[in-house]
Amino acid sequence: MNEVLERIAAALGPGAVQTGADAQGAAVDWRRRYFGRPLALVRPASTAEVAAAMRICAHTGTAVVPQGGNTGLCGGATPDASGRQIVLSLARMNRVRELDLLNGALTVEAGCTLAAVQQAALEAGRLFPLSLAAEGTAQIGGNLSTNAGGTAVLRYGNARELTLGLEVVLASGEVWDGLRGLRKDNTGYDLKQLFIGAEGTLGVITAAVLKLHPLPRGRVAAIAALQVAQQALPLFAFAQERLGPRLTGFELFSDFCLELVLKHFPGSVAPFAARHAQYVLIEVSDLDSERAAGAALEDLLAQALQDALIMDAAVSASLAQFQALWALRDNISEAQAREGPNIKHDVSIPISRMAEYIEAAGEAMARAFPGSRKVVFGHIGDGNLHYNVSPPEGADPAAFARDTAAVNRVVHDCVARFGGSISAEHGLGQYKNVEIARYKSALELELMRAVKRALDPQGIMNPGKVLA
């Protein structure tokens, strides 16, 4: 064990520093796209221990890669192959520190899984609405570091909107205590916003004060069939007008997405006897009752059918049906993974132009890569599309993967034409840290670098992520 690791082990105690094979699990990202070789895996059990480790790393110039549940999709929590970077795992810091029901706030440590945070809120009769497929493994610190979105952003906002305060260990080892549960604090720069979405490049989030919401007493879902994606936009506007804040989810997916789910999840059942080009999943939640939620959704769909906004609709009548309808949407990513390698994109587009984008990007991809299969789905309510591309039927996946940069260029250039962003909720990590320079102005990039220099002058915080 080298001198840096010996000092950290002495400060943190037995078992806090792992090397060799014990550290390798932290060296590979969830998609198995990036493979690193860490100097060690360091597992502090408290904020004080994180600070102690960071002080040693700052003194020695040792690079640190903060890691939560390691469920990211852009390699943001994976070390490089130099063997000189420490992976700092927050997994042991998984305590609920405080519940303040009257303030509607829950203070948790960064290593709590998202599912554990949801459960803690539920046990208190409240809702923490951030929800995503990896919630059983993803940790809240990682969710905040990537400003996670998920399926309920339409009603509740993304991670940024759900955070009242943070505790952060800086690159110097100093601890910024911003664990304030205030809705209003107009005393200068809102420092917590610097660290949310920064992917561990400015500091280590160790705890957070999270905003709780009333627990809905009724949740109902429906899938509506559409002829074209363009129909989703007037339907969304109509749903907002009729349902107001009860509209919780509004998800678009294509028939090809449904085909993959039905193929790779044998227990799945198509919502209609006939197949349609596009589908929208709508969730309504109500604070009074499931009956009220169901009545509101059924009234909406009846009027939408009458106005020819939709072709057909299927509404859940039980919890099992609710879960089955959502499974058709939630299982798309895993179904595509089982189908074979693919090139993922996480983009955002102004809501009013999403259908135009889908059509334009599809035409551009057909010209550049004939036969490529587009798995397009996402959150219409917040303008976020997962525009994933699979190779043509029967094509060599490895050969198609070699065209990743060219595929990205087609998809992302089209995003730029429509005034969008090449990363809506997955972050940049090391996957898009070079690509982003094509789409941000030189001034914007320099402002980001200035913030990085101010908070991490040695460049030891997650180097090579976000900014190349």
Residue 390: φ, ψ to 5°: -105, 155
State residue 468's pLDDT score.
87
Which pLDDT tens digit goes with each residue over 132-156?
888 999 999 999 999 999 888 999 9
Token pair belonging to 99 = 């519940």
At 30 the pLDDT is 85
Sequence-distant contacts of 412-419: CB under 8 A, at least 24 apart: 412/345, 412/347, 412/438, 412/439, 413/364, 414/357, 414/360, 414/361, 414/364, 415/347, 415/349, 415/357, 415/361, 415/439, 417/360, 418/349, 418/350, 418/353, 418/356, 418/357, 418/360, 419/349, 419/350, 419/353
Confidence of residue 1 (pLDDT cuts 50, 70, 90): low
Cα–Cα dist 456/143, whole Å? 21
Q: Which CATH number fits domain 218-333: 3.40.50.970, 3.30.565.10, 3.30.70.2190, 3.40.50.10090?
A: 3.30.70.2190
> Closest by alpha carbon to 46, among 169, 162, 163, 170?
169
Per-residue pLDDT band at 25 (split at 50, 70, 90): confident
The fold adopted by the segment(s) 96-214 is: 3.30.465
* Mean pLDDT value across residues 152-179: 96
Domain(s) of CATH 3.30.70.2190: residues in the chain = 218-333
Q: What pLDDT was estimated at residue 257?
A: 97
Whole-angstrom distance, CA of residue 310 vs CA of residue 339: 30
Q: Is the pLDDT of residue 164 over 90?
A: yes
**pLDDT tens digits, residue range 81-125?**
999 999 999 999 999 999 999 999 999 999 999 999 999 999 999
DSSP structure class, residue 391: P
Distance CA 150, CA 144 (A): 12
Taking Cα atoms as reference points, which of 268, 277, 286 lies closest to residue 331?
Answer: 268
Domain 340-426 has CATH 3.30.70.2740: yes
Tell me the C-alpha distance between 282 and 251, whole Å: 7
- Say what the pTM is: 0.92
| Range(s) within the chain of domains with CATH label 3.30.465.10 | 96-214
Binning the chain into helix, strand and coil, the percentages to the nearest 5 are 40, 20, 40
Phi first, then psi, for residue 282 (nearest 5°) are: -115, 130
- Is pLDDT at 329 greater than 90 in this prediction? yes
